[in-house]
Amino acid sequence: MPKVTEAYREARRDEIAQAALRCLARNGFANTSMADIIAESGSSAGAIYSHFAGKADIARHVAQIVMDSKATELIGYAGGLGRPIAPAETIRFLLDTLGREGVSKSMLVQLWAEATVDPDIHTVMSEAVGQLRHAFEVTVRPWLVANGMPADEPSVQRAATAMLTLSQGFIANTALFGDRDPADYLATAGMLLR
């Protein structure tokens, strides 16, 4: 029997994760069962469970893919500009690129809601948010320095947390009430917070 490579295993995990994303987008998190994911993927239960322990494990995998991608993309974008990037520009880049991986804003809100009652999902979402917060810290530090503001660790962490909170507010609002222009949202927030 031929040996299964790690690249093959990872590709299968990603295929299963994509099937799970389609189910979650269609049914919502609470109404998606492992049986739904198994049927959507076209795999056997044994094949699915050889890759994932359950729905929370699949959610962890998807969140890791999405947040790794977003964090890397955000840091790469900021680094490629050759200048410090303002917090509003950083947030706008994130909001403009959200959803490319098949994770809708409504799905994120569903996962956040599930995280309030499911410890496994809470862990998954905490890890994912931690990655994004780190990316915000990396991008905001040079901007703070360039603008003569404190750039010590507590100041950077507070700035990153505020950026994250503004992003989450936009995501929740648009998931519930429809799309809105991120630039308009950030301009209005900036005006109100001045």
In terms of domains, do 113 and 177 share one? yes
Q: Which CATH number does the domain housing residue 42 bear?
A: 1.10.10
Rg (CA), the chain: 19
Predicted local confidence at residue 153, as pLDDT: 97
In terms of domains, do 40 and 65 share one? no
Predicted local confidence at residue 2, as pLDDT: 63
In terms of domains, do 34 and 65 share one? no
Angle subtended at Cα 89 by Cα 86 and Cα 92, rounded to the nearest 5 degrees:
150
Predicted local confidence at residue 135, as pLDDT: 94
In terms of domains, do 106 and 67 share one? yes
Predicted local confidence at residue 110, as pLDDT: 85
The domain in which residue 128 lies consists of 55-193
In terms of domains, do 30 and 107 share one? no
The b/e string for 32-71 (b: 16+ C-beta within 10 A; e otherwise) is bebebbbebbebeeeebeebbeebbebbbbbbebbbeebb
- Give the Cα separation of 186 and 92 in Å (integer): 8
In terms of domains, do 23 and 70 share one? no
In terms of domains, do 137 and 41 share one? no
Global pTM exceeds 0.85: no
Predicted local confidence at residue 55, as pLDDT: 85
- Give the Cα separation of 168 and 14 in Å (integer): 26
* Contact assessment for residue 144 and residue 156, using Cβ atoms and an 8 Å cutoff: yes
Predicted local confidence at residue 166, as pLDDT: 95
**18 class by beta-carbon count within 10 Å (0-12 exposed, 13-18 middle, 19+ buried):** middle
Predicted local confidence at residue 41, as pLDDT: 92
Ranges of residues in the chain with a pLDDT under 70 are 1-2, 101-102
Give how many domains the chain has, as a whole number.
2
Max CA pair span of the chain: 66
Predicted local confidence at residue 156, as pLDDT: 97
Final residue before a domain boundary, out of 11, 27, 52: 52
In terms of domains, do 43 and 81 share one? no
Q: Letter for the amino acid at 63? A: A
